[in-house]
Structures are given as structure tokens and as C-alpha cells.
Structure 1
Amino acid sequence: MDFNKLLNSAEYAFLRTNEHLGNNIIMLGLAGSYSYGTNNENSDIDIRGITLNRKSDLIGMTYFEQYVDDNTDTCIYSFNKIINLLLNCNPNTIELLGLKQEHYLYLNDIGKELINNKKLFLSKRAIQSFGGYASAQLRRLQNALARDSYPQEEKEKHIYNSVKNAMNTFNDRYQEFQEGSLKIYIDESNKTDMKKEIFVDANLKHYPLRDYKNIWAEMNNIVKDYDRAGKRNNKKDDNHLNKHAMHLIRLFMMAIDILEKEEINTYRENEQKLLLSIRNGKYQNSDGSFKEEFYEMIDDYEKRLDYASQNTSLPNEPNIKEIEEFMINVNEKVVSNKI
């Protein structure tokens, strides 16, 4: 597929016309299945990128963190936001620094400099970030398998855990809010068909409406997913389950590379066959459950990750000083109109 031709199409005109994007973009790259090497004929094209904060964002009155176009599955992060996400070795963004060369669709000098300095961001924080994402992925898989057979009270616990896991990543992806500003818990229900249900306490002030909308959309989608009728033998559900299973193993692979080799390898060339076999249902039983050998694989990767975590030579924290110098240098050029 000619991705550059696609980016020049009318569908992606926002890349050229939006005031935060255009000449401010420093990087565009493939994301999702195409970037991992696990795409098939049904795979969507996901684009991720980075755009410089404008002068008005840095010393003026405007505020910008990211631009999302749902129609094309495109997300462009602001420079300042991506730096903060990379500091935490956020799996959804650190992978942007480890793409195959041909998967970078646009890269200017600042984008290249960021990639050249990617090791500055690698630290033991990857243990928690990747481990947390892998745990959330496993829970999604377990919850999807369990939701049709569990009684209501048990389902409510699964929903609660799924929403709680999503909430743990909100500050990475949306404007931060103080701990306790958004709280969920299970309590006695007044509904006749429920003994207990999930409640929420929300106390957000001066919070961006769009971020608030997206947070509630994520929580709403989790609840809706559990409320859907249907069994695990539905083909679409099976495809989703196998995709979750594949991404769980892929997260382990990436985390181990970071901890053992200090490398970000987004494209899984050596493990492509294994990952595609998981996606294609090799490890799924006819009733939708997963074979014992898949869970043995998970156990093996968990042990490998634990060993890598205990023996990594990565520092406890990323190189904050050098990252800050790089960040200041770039933003000073923006403020002084040198870019």
C-alpha cells in the first residue's frame, strides 16, 4: 500500500490544514497491526505522530495536547505531551521510537533527533508500564471469557476491575486530575434486579470537556461490552479475543527487549509467525476458551519478564537532565521563531 499517497488524500487533509499540525509536525508513523507486522486483510490503518507546541501554547494562552481524528484512526501528540508519556515508557507511545525505517511516513530533523535519543527514555519504569498494560490485557481476555457465565454480582466485580484498570492509564492519555477526583466503588444497589452495583464519585473542576467525554466513553464502552448479549462462539467476538491474546504476548516481547537489550523493537519480525498464529486462533478451543499451552506460554513470558526486571542494567529513572535540555532546546527555537 502507498501510505504517502494515502496521507495526501482528502481524508487526511487535517494534517495540512489544522493550525496545530501542518508544518509543526515532526513525525508521522504507522501504528497498530501494521507497525507490529501482525496486520491482515481486515486491519485498519492507524497513524501516530508528534507535532511541536506552538509559541502560544508555550508562553501564550492556548493549550494543546493532542489531535485525534476518529475517522482515520489518527492521533497526533504535542511535543510536550509525548515527552512526558515517553518518560514513563508508555507502551502506546514508546513504540513510536522503534518503528521500522519504512514505517516512518514523515520525519524531520527534530523527529530524527528524538529517535536518536530514544535510549534516554529507557528505564526501569518500563517494568511497571508494560507490566501494567500486559496485566490489563490479560484481564480483558479473562473478563471476556467469563462474562457470559458469571452471575451478576461476579460480573459487576469484573466490570469494576476493567474500569479501574482503564482509569490507571487516564493520566497518561488525558489531562491529569488529582487522585480521588474520579472514584469508582461497589456498593449495595437499590435496583430490584441487582444486589450490588458500581457507583462513581466525580469531582472534576475546570477540566477539558473533550477529555471528560473520552473518559466517560471508555468507561461506557466497558459497561456496554459486558451488557451485550451473545456467547463466545460468535466469530467477531472470537476475532477480538484472539487479537487481545496476541497483543498480550507482544507486550511481553517488547518489554523483555527493552529490559534485556535496551532496544525498542516495535516490528516483531522474529516472532511474527507466532503472533499471527495466535491472532488466527491456533490457541483457542471451539468453545471460545484458550488452550492450556497458551496459558503456559503466558507463564513462561511472565517468568522471563520477572527475570529481566531483576537483572536489567537500565537505570531506575530516565535521563531527566538530558531530556530536559533537549526539550528546552526545541521549545526555545519555537519561541524565538527559529523553526
Structure 2
Amino acid sequence: MTREELQRIIDSEPYDFLRTDPHLGKHLMFLTIGGSHAYGTNVAGSDVDIRGVALNSKEDLLGLGEFEHRVDTMTDTTVFSFNKAAKLLCSGNPNMLEQFGNPDELVITYSPTAKLLFDNKNLFLSKRVIYSFGGFAGKLIKEADAKWRAYLYEVEVSGVNPNVKPYIPCGEKRFNKIVMNVIRLYHMLFDILEKGEINTYRGAEHDILMQIRNGDYDYEELRKHTIPIYEARLQADKKETELPDRVDMKQVNELAVTINEQALKVV
């Protein structure tokens, strides 16, 4: 997706709420792309997921306002308030950190505070990502394993030849996307731990990710050999990474105060 394509989508009528919602509109910091279009694993007909962050309003900061996020299911759009986003970033939330790993051309900014936040994104990187990204991957692995066991049971009771495609689970888009995202999450985590970089677009792994998405892989081979190799690499990264154990909340709070001071000036 190009910047022009992203801008046309955001400017279209279904996204008018971005301009009319009192919590968004003039409070928007930035909007960007999420999901498969951000990872580079989209196919024809893939949903367009818009993600972003909006400054907290004066009512939120000085009054009793409690805006945290706006979700529009019709357009698959989610925009978080800055304060909520900052808390998610501190916890190493994968869906939030992904937004800060997109290339500049896929980030539409509406406020100078967006640049300030992006320039300081590494403040939010800590060893907590081991548990947020690793935990998310582990949850997906359990889901895939359950589907695979159900498939093997069906093979056993039905007499289906498991060597004849299409495989029952590998022919299901949901199953393939689960497995694909496991591999993607591991590689994003490796980049963060080994390089201190958030790289959402997975160009280096594109071919293997698309093979998985298209069902062209052996799940048992991946589960028995690939995942253990990734887990061993992760264990080594835990010991060798230069990331701090946790984010420096003093620095994060200083950044939040600076951004919120600017938010109070929005009229």
C-alpha cells in the first residue's frame, strides 16, 4: 500500500467519523495501517485495518473524561487515546508497538506531537516484550495445536488420507493465518531483542509467510522442528539482549507530560 492509497482510504466517506468524533478530529496525532497490509502478507480482498492515536482532550486531562479508544467495526479502525496508548506501549503490547514499526510513508501525521512520540519510541522497548510477544505467540500455538488435534481425530474416524491435499486444517484460512502470525511474531520479537528495532513489514520472511498463508507447508514439521529452534533462539536472546528489564518510567512520564501539555493547547 502506498501513502496515497492510505490517504484516499482515510479521506473516504466511511471514515468520516475520524473527522466528526469529538475525541478524534482535531485531537488526532497520527493514523497508519495495521494487519496484513502492514506485515506485507495481504492478498486480494484482505481487510484494511486503520490504527492510530489521538491526544487526550482537556476534559480527559483536567476533568472527568475517560476516553480510551474508538473502535469502528465497519471499517476495522481502532484509535487509542494517547494516555491509553502510552500504557499499552509500556507493557510491550504487540498491536500497539506494531504501529511504530511502519515506514514513514505509511504514517499520516496530524500533530507535531506524533513526531515527538515516534522519535522516542525506543523508550518503550524493554524485556517485557519477551512476555507480550512470546505470550501472544504461545497462545496462537495452543490454538493451532487444538485445531491440528481435531484434524487428526477427523482423519482417524473418517479414513481421510492425510497425504492428499487439501489438508483439512491447512485448507482453512483461519488455521493458516494463525500459524503465519506465530512465525511473524517470533521474527518481530527477534528484531526487537537483537537489534532494538520495531520492524512491522516482514520483507525478509515474506515468501515463507505467504507459503504458510496459502497452506503450502507441513504443520507437524514446523511444530516439531521450526518452533523449537525459534524457542531456543528466544531463550538465548533473553540472556543476551541489551534491552532494560522494564521501561524507564521517569523518561516516559516526562514525554507524556510534554505531549499532554501540547494537548491542552488544542482548541
TM-score (norm 1): 0.71
Per the alignment, residue 164 of structure 2 pairs with none
CA RMSD for the aligned pairs?
Answer: 2.0
Higher RCO structure, 1 or 2 (CA under 8 Å, sep 6+): 2
Deviation string 1:208-227 (CA, Å, 9 cap, x unpaired) is xxxxxxxxxxxxxxxxxxxx
SS at match of 2:51: strand
Alpha-carbon distance, 1:90 to partner = 0.6
- Matched ranges for 1:1-80 at <5 A: 2-80=5-83
- Identical residues among aligned pairs (%): 41
SS at match of 2:179: helix
- The amino acid that maps onto 1:313 is E
Alpha-carbon distance, 1:107 to partner = 4.9
* C-alpha contact 1:30 1:45 (8 A) present in aligned 2: yes
Per the alignment, residue 242 of structure 2 pairs with 313
Describe the shift of the 1:281–1:234 C-alpha distance in structure 2 as closer, same or farther (beyond 3 A).
Answer: closer
Residues in 1 aligned to 2:244 and 2:182: alpha-carbon distance in whole angstroms: 25
Alpha-carbon distance, 1:102 to partner = 2.0
Per the alignment, residue 274 of structure 1 pairs with 208
* C-alpha contact 1:134 1:251 (8 A) present in aligned 2: yes
Number of aligned residue pairs: give it. 253
SS at match of 1:20: coil
- The amino acid that maps onto 1:241 is F
Deviation string 1:134-186 (CA, Å, 9 cap, x unpaired) is 10110111122234677xxxxxxxxxxxxxxxxxxxxxxxxxxxxxxxxxxxx
* C-alpha contact 2:148 2:169 (8 A) present in aligned 1: no
* C-alpha contact 1:283 1:291 (8 A) present in aligned 2: no
Per the alignment, residue 168 of structure 2 pairs with 233
Residues in 2 aligned to 1:131 and 1:291: alpha-carbon distance in whole angstroms: 20
Moved more, 274-283 or 45-54: 274-283
* C-alpha contact 2:6 2:106 (8 A) present in aligned 1: no
1:249 aligns with 2:252: no
TM-score (norm 2): 0.89
* C-alpha contact 1:4 1:105 (8 A) present in aligned 2: yes
* C-alpha contact 1:250 1:275 (8 A) present in aligned 2: yes
* C-alpha contact 1:66 1:75 (8 A) present in aligned 2: yes
Where do 5+ consecutive residues of structure 2 fail to align? 154-166
Residues in 1 aligned to 2:123 and 2:18: alpha-carbon distance in whole angstroms: 29
SS at match of 2:67: coil
Per the alignment, residue 101 of structure 2 pairs with 98
